[in-house]
Chain A
Amino acid sequence: NAGVTQTPKFQVLKTGQSMTLQCAQDMNHEYMSWYRQDPGMGLRLIHYSVGAGITDQGEVPNGYNVSRSTTEDFPLRLLSAAPSQTSVYFCASKHRFGYNSPLHFGNGTRLTVT
């Protein structure tokens, strides 16, 4: 099992550019989520999905879109990048929404917006 796989590992964007951060998991987890990690802020939830076709906003959703067409994939889209979106982004999954099971994290994408 590869677990949670994120690509790319690093990305530099200019203000206004768009891009998609990829996330795939091979554990047949129903619940998937995106967090961003900033110094002094901890990890914060951006968007989450409780299953294919179902997504919802987290704590800091502005500027990001998501979709979930399959159980395995949960891409995060930045439509018009801003310097405030410079961060490390983590995708995480767990067996099912509502369960106390732990989140399994990918190794992150470090994004810089200039």
Chain B
Amino acid sequence: EDQVTQSPEALRLQEGESSSLNCSYTVSGLRGLFWYRQDPGKGPEFLFTLYSAGEEKEKERLKATLTKKESFLHITAPKPEDSATYLCAVQGVKAAGNKLTFGGGTRVLVKP
């Protein structure tokens, strides 16, 4: 069964203080690893898809990387508007119904 664990559960940062979020996963065969951002009272908003180890993707202050066991979301020089919960999810090749298996998320608070 596919599993995803995210750490830390919560992260408090000062504006400009760079940090990384971890997503550890086990999957029978990886079809894709997805990062989402979720604001309070809203649905998850798609950020990145990674398909194979060594792949990296960037968007503004966010950079996602992938190894065979983990993915990292690096936040460089964060701003208060980067405060949100970040969700990691995997889709395995054997996932019934194209199910995404989600981690519990990392709540990020960036203080000015």
- Chain A residues proximal to chain B, CB less than 8 Å: 4, 31, 33, 40-45, 48, 56-59, 90, 92, 94, 97-98, 100-108
Contact A108 B43 (CB under 8 A): yes
Q: Are A107 and B102 in contact (CB under 8 A)?
A: no
Query: Chain A's nearest CB lies how many Å from the CB of B64?
Result: 13
Contact B104 A107 (CB under 8 A): no
Q: A42-B103, A94-B98 are in contact. List 17 more A-B contacts (CB 8 A).
A: A31-B98, A42-B4, A42-B87, A43-B100, A44-B102, A58-B97, A100-B49, A100-B51, A102-B34, A102-B49, A103-B34, A103-B46, A105-B44, A105-B45, A107-B42, A107-B43, A108-B41
| B98 lies within 8 A of A97 (CB) | yes
Cβ-closest chain B residue relative to A59: B99
Write out the residue numbers on chain A whose beta carbons fall within 8 Å of the beta carbon of B44. 43, 90, 103, 105
The answer, yes or no, to whether B78 is at the interface (CB within 8 Å) is no
